[in-house]
Amino acid sequence: MATINSGNKTTRSHSHHHTSFTRVHQIAALALVAATFFLTRLFDHSLAPCSDANHYTTPDDTVRSRGYGRHLNFNIYVYDKDEIDGLQLLLSGRDGKISADACVKGQWGTQVKIHRLLLQSTYRTRKKEEADLFFVPSYVKCVRMMGGLSDKEINQTYVKVLSQMPYFRLSGGRNHIFVFPSGAGAHLFKSWATYINRSIILTPEGDRTDKRDISAFNTWKDIIIPGNIDDGMTINNPRLVDPLPLSRRKYLANYLGRAQGKIGRLRLIELAKEYPAKLESPVLKFSGPEKLGKRDYFLHLRNAKFCLAPRGESSWTLRFYESFFVECVPVILSDQVELPFQDVVDYSQISIKWPSTRIGKELLDYLESISDYEIEEMIARGRRVRCLWVYATESESCSAFSGILGELQKKVRQFHQSAETFWLHNGSLVSRDLVEFSKWKPPMPLP
């Protein structure tokens, strides 16, 4: 019996020790879970991409935690205007009289802003052999609009420039970056499909197959960039105009723009005539003595709860971006539109996209059904992410430039060789004629 009792005590003692040991493990496991949770939240917060000039925090439901700017690891080479014969023409025209300061204004200003920001970037390298990506500067949209080059001259000059770039030939253009800042996109370079169809194109314009046989935008290699909003609304302090409280806004919605013979715009203009108390669509002069000034334009824009953004000649519209700075909710009326940084920004939280085929009283009734509380919530979320539309310096953690750099990081590949590049057993790169890359002499044949 004594032996049995002793055994029972031993069993009970072991059971008690086991229970205590298990509790210690449970407590430690809970502590580990808690620590992991808080560290994860901290890490996610560190990746949040934006804070506006007013230091708004970023909500998890609007900007996803993958963020921008914390994980960049690449070098970019920016071609100098004097190192390639013809490149100067794409920057200042045949007479060299078009200045960068003249081109930084208007919807084509992103060509200048991105170029300038890259020249200052810490990711810039001055050694081609170190570069992962190559930037080809060009203000060709501005140059064309100001009469500096004809379409034919633009085409010929681009081909001439590309034929002098050994690294372009080496990769087939896969690691070369071009900016085309207008609705025409890369179509400004008439032969783009032959020469830069593999290159990375930065453009506000998405799919153009509704207007052309082929689109110059490829979802998998190209990058949608924000339009160029007037600096008076994005960078200057104070801004040109301040937003109005919802209670002081005269209209439910507005559309500020020309008809341009486009069905959606014409419908909005007619709808405004039918419901003038709800929808403002004044006749605006964008040229001549009655031209609408910048400040007057934004004073109009801020006077509605919803800013309508129909397509024009192309699918993108600057009004979408401008609306965030007068704090009205943008309503996209452009079915083919592509928006920037879509894997980071949840646009359904900050805007409305309505079928362009259903523009009418149904649209106004829908907008009128949305409460001011819901509108304020959408405006607040938009306020937190609008820093991504601002072309600010690299020191700003949230900007259009930081977003573009983040997107470019995804385009970096170790292997960029083209169909005209070959390599030998010792790793040396050669042409079809077995000439080593270091001995390639421009001009080189292009496809």
pLDDT in tens, 82-112: 999 999 999 999 999 999 999 998 888 999 9
Task: Count the residues in the chain.
Answer: 447
Three-class SS string for 277-291? CCEECCCCCCCCCCC
CB 156 within 8 A of CB 446: no
Rounded distance between C-alpha atoms, residue 409 and residue 47, angstroms: 15
Q: Return the amino acid letter for 382.
A: G
Q: What average pLDDT does the chain have?
A: 85
CA atoms within 13 A on the CB side of 313: 4
CA atoms within 13 A on the CB side of 159: 14
Whole-model pTM?
0.83
Tokens of 190: 């008439």
Q: Beta-carbon neighbour count of residue 178 at 10 Å?
A: 23
What mean pLDDT do residues 213-223 have? 85
Sheet holding 176-179, edge to edge: 124-125, 76-78, 133-135, 176-179, 200-203, 223-224
Q: Looking at the chain, which residues constitute the CATH 3.40.50.2000 domain(s)?
A: 231-390
Tokens of 193: 């499909």
Checking if the pLDDT of 234 tops 60, the result is yes
User: pLDDT tens digits for 346-401?
Assistant: 999 999 999 999 999 999 999 999 999 999 999 999 999 999 999 999 889 899 99
Exposed, middle or buried: residue 227 (CB in 10 Å: 0-12, 13-18, 19+)? Answer: buried
Confidence class for position 191, pLDDT limits 50, 70, 90: very high
Instruction: Note if the bond before 238 is cis, omega within 30 degrees.
Output: yes
Checking if the pLDDT of 308 tops 80, the result is yes
What mean pLDDT do residues 290-318 have? 90
Checking if the pLDDT of 315 tops 70, the result is yes
Cβ contacts of 65 within 8 Å, gap of 6 or more: 44, 47, 48
CB 389 within 8 A of CB 400: yes
Confidence class for position 312, pLDDT limits 50, 70, 90: confident
Confidence class for position 343, pLDDT limits 50, 70, 90: confident
Rounded distance between C-alpha atoms, residue 77 and residue 121, angstroms: 10
Confidence class for position 295, pLDDT limits 50, 70, 90: very high
349 backbone dihedrals φ, ψ, rounded to 5°: -90, -15
CA atoms within 13 A on the CB side of 83: 11
372-404 exposure pattern, b = at least 16 Cβ within 10 A, e = fewer: eeebeebbebbbbbbbbbbbbebebbbbbbbbb
Architecture of domain 231-390: 3-Layer(aba) Sandwich (3.40)
Q: Beta-carbon neighbour count of residue 137 at 10 Å?
A: 24
What mean pLDDT do residues 248-263 have? 91
